[in-house]
Structure formats: C-alpha cells, structure tokens
Amino acid sequence: MNIFRLTGDLAHLLAIIILLLKIWKTRSCAGISGKSQILFAIVYTTRYLDLVTTYVSAYNTLMKIFFLGSSFATVYLIYVKFKATYDHNHDTFRIEFLILPAVILALLINHAFTPLEILWTFSIYLESVAILPQLFMVSKTGEAESITSHYLFALGSYRGLYILNWIYRYAMESHYDLIAIVAGIVQTVLYCDFFYLYITKVLKGKKLQLPA
Amino acid sequence: KGARRKKDEL
C-alpha cells in the first residue's frame, strides 16, 4: 500500500458517500444517471468475485464489501425508493454499447483465459467507461448540482491517484499491470473536460453549466 | 508479469 493508492481509495469512498448522502438527504436522484450506477454495480460484482476465496487484508475485504453494498444500495435508491425522481428522459445512454465492447475486449486482451481473470478484465474495461452515461446526462441537462459535481470530482480523482500509485509501484516494486494502467488512463481522461469545468467554475462558487 | 501476482488492488 502507498499514499497514492490510499488517498485514491479514500477519494473513491468519499465519492460513494457523497452520492448516497445526496440521494438520501434530498430524497431525490435528480441529475443522477441510474445507468452509470448499474454499470458500477456490475463492475464491482465482476471484480470482487474473489472476495470469499482470496484474503488480501482486512482493509481490502472491508472496502470490497462497502463498494459492493453501496453500489447496490444506490441502484435500489434510484430505481425503487426514489423512482419517482429518476430522470428517465435525460438518462438515455445505451449502456449495451459499453458492456458489449468490454466483453469482447476482455475476451481478446487479457492476462489469462480463465473465468475469474476474464471477469476481472471485463470489470476493468467497463469501469473505464462506466461514467459516460452520467457525463452524457450532465451534458444533456446542461448543468449539474454542485453536490453532483463534487461526487464526480472525487470519483474522477480516485483513478487519477491510482495512476500515481502505478508509477510508484513500477518504480519501487517494478510491478505493473498494463491492462489496469491503460484502462485507468482512459477513465481519467474522460473526466478531463469535467475537471476543467469543476476547477474553473464550481470552485468559484458558480453552478456547473456546460456550454449548451 | 504483474498480473500473475495476487491482485491486491481494489
């Protein structure tokens, strides 16, 4: 474990808590893409299958349980509890166009052709594009509540910090995983446009308005 | 390569 990966995991944890609090406190999931949250639930389910077979550390196990539980809780809040506030009209990204390519790519490019490894690889590829429905929704509505933009900033930062972790691990342990690194770079790049808007607008107290 | 090692990252 290193400081980059620890702060990355904490940023990830913070993002999930911000989102859960926003939905629970406002009793509304307006502006939140349910489709992205479904993709995240798929990502954690396919990535953490080794939860019961492999013990890495208490930290590792606890975080996996939290990510799994919170992602399903978020999907439940959006599609069941606060269904009336779910914005169907703006959450229209076709997630099958993200899932299928991730499946195909995972079958073609992986470290080992075993079920667990293929599913892990699929989850890595899917996570890199899982935020697209949310970013698409923000662009369609043309704006985002500031709490949603804080969520996106924390979520985008987590994989950015992981990139620093991978550089650190390559330098210190000469350990690297190209699949995770390439997907992590793609994932972080997708947030760049949003990061620019967040830093130039939201941090100045303005509302996040995308150019129409 | 790295992938052979136990996956210790989230």
The chain B residue lying nearest A121, using CA atoms, is B3
**Does the structure show a pLDDT above 80 at A211?**
no
- Cα angle vertex B6, ends A161, A70, to 5°? 55
Residue-level length of chain B: 10
- Cα angle vertex A177, ends A173, A179, to 5°? 165
CB contact under 8 A, B3 and A117: yes
* Structure-block tokens of residue A161: 């910090």
In order of A43, A58, A95, A137, the CA distances from A92 in angstroms are: 20, 39, 9, 8
A129-180 confidence digits (pLDDT tens): 999 999 999 999 998 999 999 999 999 999 999 999 999 999 999 999 999 9
CB contact under 8 A, A175 and B2: yes
**Does the structure show a pLDDT above 50 at A3?**
yes
Per-residue confidence (pLDDT) for residue B2, from 0 to 100: 45
A6-65 confidence digits (pLDDT tens): 999 999 999 999 999 999 999 999 999 999 999 999 999 999 999 999 999 999 999 999
Beta strands of chain A (E only): which ranges?
143-144, 208-209
- SS3 category, A208: strand
Chain A nearest C-alpha distance from B6 (Å): 8
**Does the structure show a pLDDT above 90 at B6?**
no
Residue A209 has phi, psi (to 5 degrees) of -110, 125
Q: ipTM score here?
A: 0.89
B chain contacts of residue A54, beta-carbon cutoff 8 Å = 6-7
Which of B1, B6, B8, B9 to probe the A interface (max A CBs under 10 A)? B9
Measure the CA–CA gap between A161 and A165, rounded to whole angstroms: 6
A56-97 confidence digits (pLDDT tens): 999 999 999 999 999 999 999 999 999 999 999 999 999 999
**Does the structure show a pLDDT above 90 at A210?**
no
* Structure-block tokens of residue A98: 């993200």
Under 8 Å between Cβ of A78 and A137: no
Question: Which is nearest to A176 in space by CA: A73, A131, A184?
Answer: A184
**Does the structure show a pLDDT above 70 at B1?**
no
Measure the CA–CA gap between A27 and A177, rounded to whole angstroms: 41
Mean pLDDT of A107-112: 97
Sequence letter at residue A183: A
**pLDDT confidence of B5, banded at 50, 70, 90?**
low
Mean pLDDT of A104-119: 97
Mean pLDDT of A181-207: 94
